[in-house]
Amino acid sequence: MNALVIGGAGYIGSHAVRELVRAGHSVVVLDDLSTGNAHAVHPDARLIVGDILDKEGMVSIFEAAADADAPIDVVFHFAAKMIVSESVAKPLDYYRNNVVGMLSMLEAMAECGVRNLVFSSTAAVYGRPEGGICHEDAPCKPINPYGETKLACERMVEWVAQAHGLNYCILRYFNVAGADSSLEIGLEKDLLTWIVPLIMQAALGNEEKLTIFGDDYDTPDGTCIRDYVHVTDLAKAHILGAQHLLDGKGSLVANLGSGSGFSVAEVVEAAKRIVDFRSEYGPRRPGDPDILIADTSRARELLGWEPEIGLDEMLRSDYEFRKILTQRNK
Ligand SMILES: NC(=O)c1ccc[n+]([C@@H]2O[C@H](COP(=O)([O-])OP(=O)(O)OC[C@H]3O[C@@H](n4cnc5c(N)ncnc54)[C@H](O)[C@@H]3O)[C@@H](O)[C@H]2O)c1
């Protein structure tokens, strides 16, 4: 397939680009490099530095591809702002980049007759689901502007699909971690509110210790339970999603997670088997639900997707990549 990957210089997008290239597909990346890195883009993909808000820029990409007899078959859309706390402080920036960005991209796709879209959504669209297990048909009640913008994008895609014959695969990710097996790409940002990057800060000695926020949640060991998925498994699901659309099997919304959860205490224990570091319990953080686990039956049934990499390897590859990154940045 000929793929346009918007946001392909970022953490998840760069892994998707790598899997696309490995599978022999032809890839163009559009990225404004606001949080991504040119060096993360596989050398066999072509990087165009540009903004998703620039509709005409995207039209030019689609037209140039069609003129070169390689029309874009599928657009993969990863480009978004995605820090929850920042979205609370700067909601307008989030609506502009995420929602207006989606509008601009859908306009360009409609104008150029590009019909297949794979879109990165998030478990944040669910808010605080009852029982902590998220099924795609559960009510979506986001609790922050980031989740709201992603849900607004999902709804826009669904309406535009009805009107313009677009096929879509909306993928709602749970907690993503890990690095490519080559250790050439991985998470480069310091997203200090997520548990795995927080662990890595302590594991690499950048922080004296890890604080675990709360030990009195309604879970067996009192720490929050979350669902973790390796970034390479996630990237592979995108290719399956695109193939599903190209095979004419219809649009879908699907969760991507492991389908089971680990408590924060269990994740910390697993990380300490790789490298020792100090940790202590602190007070709860506001807004953390007790449990968030994906029901992944739909992705398994419709896409034939099966996550293959477990928590230990997720943590090991994340740690090894971050060690390399620390050396590189010295
Ligand atoms: N990382 C996670 O755990 C996670 C979880 C759920 C959903 N998601 C979603 O996955 C997608 C990718 O996340 P990520 O972790 O790789 O983030 P990232 O910040 O590493 O990647 C986003 C990429 O998009 C680019 N970008 C942003 N705004 C742009 C614009 N206006 N025009 C062109 N490029 C732009 C950035 O430069 C970056 O390369 C996002 O849509 C995010 O909402 C991520």
Q: Is the pLDDT of residue 187 over 90?
A: yes
Query: What is the chain's alpha carbon radius of gyration, rounded to the nearest angstrom?
Result: 19
Phi/psi of residue 149, each to 5°? -65, -35
In a domain, 17, yes or no: yes
> Does ligand 1 lie within 6 Å of residue 13's CB atom?
yes
The rounded Å distance from CA 81 to ligand 1 centre is: 6
Q: Is the pLDDT of residue 6 over 70?
A: yes
Distance of alpha carbon 153 from alpha carbon 103, whole angstroms:
8
Q: Same domain, yes or no, for 241 and 283?
A: no
Q: Same domain, yes or no, for 127 and 215?
A: no
Distance of alpha carbon 229 from alpha carbon 183, whole angstroms:
17
pLDDT value at residue 66: 97
pLDDT value at residue 113: 97
Tens of pLDDT, residue by residue over 117-174, are 999 999 999 998 888 999 999 999 999 999 999 999 999 999 999 999 999 999 999 9
Tens of pLDDT, residue by residue over 84-107, are 989 999 999 999 999 999 999 999
Q: Is the pLDDT of residue 256 over 70?
A: yes
Give how many domains the chain has, as a whole number.
Answer: 2
Q: Give 189's pLDDT tier (boundaries 50, 70, 90).
A: confident
In a domain, 186, yes or no: no
Q: Same domain, yes or no, for 92 and 201?
A: no
- Rounded average pLDDT over 235-262: 97
pLDDT value at residue 285: 86
In a domain, 135, yes or no: yes
Q: Is the pLDDT of residue 192 over 80?
A: no
> Does ligand 1 lie within 6 Å of residue 142's CB atom?
no
Among residues 143, 279, 254, which one has the least CA distance to residue 198?
Answer: 279
Q: Same domain, yes or no, for 108 and 200?
A: no
The rounded Å distance from CA 137 to ligand 1 centre is: 25
- Rounded average pLDDT over 63-85: 96
Distance of alpha carbon 157 from alpha carbon 51, whole angstroms:
19
Number of C-beta neighbours around residue 111 at 10 A: 15
Q: Give 182's pLDDT tier (boundaries 50, 70, 90).
A: very high
Distance of CA 256 to the CA centre of its chain: 9
Tens of pLDDT, residue by residue over 28-57, are 999 999 999 999 999 999 999 999 999 999
Q: Same domain, yes or no, for 146 and 200?
A: no
Q: Same domain, yes or no, for 139 and 212?
A: no
| Catalytic site includes residue 146 | yes
> Does ligand 1 lie within 6 Å of residue 117's CB atom?
no
Q: Same domain, yes or no, for 136 and 269?
A: no
Q: Same domain, yes or no, for 219 and 241?
A: no
pLDDT value at residue 131: 87
In a domain, 183, yes or no: no
The rounded Å distance from CA 83 to ligand 1 centre is: 10
Q: What is the percentage of the chain residues whose pLDDT exceeds 90?
A: 93
Q: Same domain, yes or no, for 23 and 37?
A: yes
Adjacency order of strands within the sheet including 262-263: 133-134, 291-294, 225-226, 262-263
The rounded Å distance from CA 82 to ligand 1 centre is: 7
Q: Of 35, 58, 61, 153, which is best to mutate to test ligand 1, by the most ligand atoms within 8 angstroms of its C-beta?
A: 35
Token representation of residue 19: 């899997």
Q: How would you write the chain as a 3-class SS string?
A: CEEEEECCCCHHHHHHHHHHHHCCCEEEEEECCCCCCHHHCCCCCEEEECCCCCHHHHHHHHHHHHHCCCCCCEEEECCCCCCHHHHHHCHHHHHHHHHHHHHHHHHHHHHHCCCEEEEEEEHHHCCCCHHHEECCCCCCCCCCHHHHHHHHHHHHHHHHHHHHCCEEEEEEECEEECCCCCCCCCCCCCCCCCHHHHHHHHHCCCCCCEEEECCCCCCCCCCCEECEEEHHHHHHHHHHHHHHHHCCCCCEEEEECCCCCEEHHHHHHHHHCCCCCCEEEECCCCCCCCEEEECCHHHHHHHCCCCCCCHHHHHHHHHHHHHHHHHHHC
In a domain, 189, yes or no: no
Domain ranges, residue 285: 195-227+259-329
Q: What's the whole-number average pLDDT of the chain?
A: 96
In a domain, 184, yes or no: no
Q: Give 319's pLDDT tier (boundaries 50, 70, 90).
A: very high
pLDDT value at residue 130: 87
Number of C-beta neighbours around residue 17 at 10 A: 32
Q: Give 58's pLDDT tier (boundaries 50, 70, 90).
A: very high
Q: Same domain, yes or no, for 123 and 270?
A: no
CATH number at residue 112: 3.40.50.720
Q: Same domain, yes or no, for 110 and 203?
A: no
Q: Give 287's pLDDT tier (boundaries 50, 70, 90).
A: confident
The answer to whether residues 272 and 199 touch, using CB atoms and an 8 Å cutoff, is no
Distance of alpha carbon 287 from alpha carbon 330, whole angstroms:
36
Q: What is the percentage of the chain residues whose pLDDT exceeds 70?
A: 99
Q: Is the pLDDT of residue 191 over 80?
A: no
Q: Same domain, yes or no, for 97 and 50?
A: yes
Among residues 246, 248, 249, 284, which one has the least CA distance to residue 264?
Answer: 284
Bridge partners of 133?
Answer: 293
pTM here? Answer: 0.97
In a domain, 275, yes or no: yes
CATH number at residue 290: 3.90.25.10
AA letter at 75? V
> Does ligand 1 lie within 6 Å of residue 9's CB atom?
yes
Distance of alpha carbon 180 from alpha carbon 167, whole angstroms:
29
**Residues with Cβ within 8 Å of residue 212, at least 6 apart in sequence:** 223, 264, 265, 268, 279, 280, 281, 282
In a domain, 190, yes or no: no
pLDDT value at residue 190: 76
Distance of alpha carbon 148 from alpha carbon 125, whole angstroms:
7
